Chains A and B, each alone.
Chain A
Amino acid sequence: MNSSTVDVRTAPDPVTATPGERARSVPAPTPFRRVLNVELRKMFDTRSGYWLMVSIVGLSILATAAVIVFAPDDEITYESFATAIGFPMSIILPMIAILAVTSEWSQRSGLTTFTLVPSRGRVIGAKATATFLVGLVSMVVAFAVGALGNLVGSALLGADTVWNISFETVPQIVLGNLVGMAIGFTLGVVLRNSPAAIVGYFVVSLVLPGILLLLAQVRDWFEDLQPWIDWNYTQVNLFDGATDTAREWAMLGTTSAIWIVFPLIVGVWFLRRSEVK
């Protein structure tokens, strides 16, 4: 069979051929702002992305309406509305964060994304920034819808509008939601698979707390340790606006390091070396 090999290795000398190259100036490097802009757009431009975004507004309104209809009169307060809206937010926002990352793999659009911007770290950075921005804007929308609900609810009741969330609490609630998004984003980077990351998120956010709580109840040594490793514990504190002392911030720091920073670093390390197919 080898005798059939036609071997005519007389490729033209590369140097002599180079003049044929069109003389062109090298383009400017892709600025980060452009990558960010594109990644932001990609979160909205599919039907599923669009409906996820719409559902933020839709569910905020639904939750607000539910409070007006079902809550007892003395609980028509801003806190009730914020809590009710926070519920769907705490699920949708992490899903948005997960899908922002995993869709590049599950839909294989990563082939185009990473050939147009070969630095995967920059793409992931842009995605993280875009996710962060979407989270911030969603929270503003959620608070606004809640405020509107509070005004409408108290007007229907003919009572005074109760604004019982302090301005110090608001940033903590926003931060709490961003923590949830960061957990989702991290799972997306580590697992790079939509179903797995979604299951993962529900497990660490809804199943794990129960287990850790149980553990804290039966084992004394864990009771003191729990706030330092249970990210839900520190997130709930944020939602309650109860992260005040340096110690509590330190707890938030360690849970974030364990559940977000460390896995994210490992995940990005693998992601940058993985084969995109």
Chain B
Amino acid sequence: MITVESLTKTYGSFTAVDDVSFTAQPGRVTGFLGPNGAGKSTTMRVMVGLTAPGAGEVRVLGRRFKDLPDPGREVGVLLDASAQHAGRTGREILTIAALTMGLPRTRVDEMLERVSLTPDEASRRVRNYSLGMRQRLGIGTALLGNPQVLILDEPANGLDPAGIRWMRDLLRGFADDGGTVLLSSHLLHEIEVIADDIVVIGNGRIVAQGTKDELLAGAGTLVRSTDGVALATALTAAGITARPTSGGAVLAEAELARVGQAAFAAGIPVTELRAAEGAGLEEMFLSLTAESQRDVTSHTDPEGAAA
């Protein structure tokens, strides 16, 4: 279990993490979702003691990270798969981790097999690894001590589709076994597929948290036409709370049939009409991304929908 309590971290006048509190439960996969630069990595670095918190506290398995007697045996951490000495071989990196944790050398071979690194690949220097191979090695390092908690920052980065599938199954199995998994991602779809609980962070603040079902349940209907504003006006006129979003889409708080009826009555041709499952979360996430002004989204095509 991981407990984050009122965590705040500032750099000069910039607040990277602002009063963040959440809990990652054992037996569940907690998705830590947010656009680039939202404060996910900083929060995770504070969790494992690499960055000192400005205020607040993080407890892992009921203790502060630095008070864990042998952290590798209880908490598996992968923050940046590229942060390894480029001159070491993959096997050597696992070996020094195993030695630090006091594990037998056989554990290294087991783990290489588990993360599908061949003996030939394992004897190559990390300098020559692809991002996907580094990621597998990093996941291997995290799992090496048979921990109870996993803290993974963007673990799917660089993995091929089969690798992403493999990682999902692995994390699912880990959680079903009673372990706690916290993984971050900037891809909504990835989190949707794997997480039980979701924590959404934007500009250092938590903007939503709860179980996936709760967050995705977002009641209502998504309806789309060529002119979203006109459609929303028409729906509002019909007594339905409606809000235009983007790309001609409108989120309406009424069931499918009633929304369709109202649009029909107003004479507006509808191009899409469906239950707004998760559309609320999707919209919120997109608006978060838009706020950070890295991309201007003109169309509601969630990044994850293509995958």
| A residues lining the B interface (CB < 8 Å) | 1, 3-12, 14, 17-18, 20-22, 24, 26-31, 34-35, 37-38, 41-42, 45-49, 103, 107-112, 114-119, 273, 275-277
Contacts and interface: CB of A to CB of B under 8 A. Distances in A.
Nearest to B180: A21
A108 B45 CA distance: 14
A143 to B, nearest CB: 30
For chain B, give the interface size range. 35 or more
Interface stretch (B70-78, B104-112, B187-195, B257-265): B70-78
Contacts, number: 163
B291 A103 contact: no
Given A42-B96, A108-B83, A118-B68, A9 B210 contact: yes
B70 A29 contact: yes
B34 to A, nearest CB: 13
A272 B35 CA distance: 30
Contacts of A7: 207-208
A176 B255 CA distance: 84
Contacts of A115: 48-50, 71-72, 75, 77, 79
A37 B100 CA distance: 8
Contact of A14 (B3, B27, B215): B3
Contacts of B97: 112, 116
Nearest to A14: B23
Contact of A5 (B95, B177, B207): B207
B280 A4 contact: yes
B125 interface: yes
Contacts of B95: 41
Interface in B70-95: 70-75, 77, 79-80, 82-88, 92-93, 95
B87 A47 contact: yes
Contacts of B25: 12, 14, 17, 20
Nearest to B61: A21
SS of B interface (majority): mixed
B243 interface: yes
Given A18-B1, A112-B97, A27 B74 contact: yes
Given A10-B210, A14-B1, A115-B71, A46 B87 contact: yes
Contacts of A41: 95-96, 99
B129 interface: no
B178 interface: yes
A5 B50 CA distance: 31
Nearest to B76: A115
A30 B84 contact: no
24 contacts: A1-B287, A4-B280, A10-B210, A11-B23, A11-B209, A17-B26, A20-B25, A20-B26, A22-B148, A27-B69, A29-B69, A30-B69, A30-B101, A34-B99, A34-B102, A35-B100, A107-B84, A107-B86, A109-B88, A111-B50, A116-B101, A118-B49, A275-B45, A276-B51
Contacts of B73: 27
B149 to A, nearest CB: 9
B18 interface: no
Given A6-B218, A20-B25, A111 B83 contact: yes
A21 B178 contact: yes
Contacts of B148: 21-22, 24
Contacts of A35: 100
Nearest to B50: A276
Given A21-B178, A273-B52, A4 B83 contact: no
Interface in B142-186: 148, 177-180
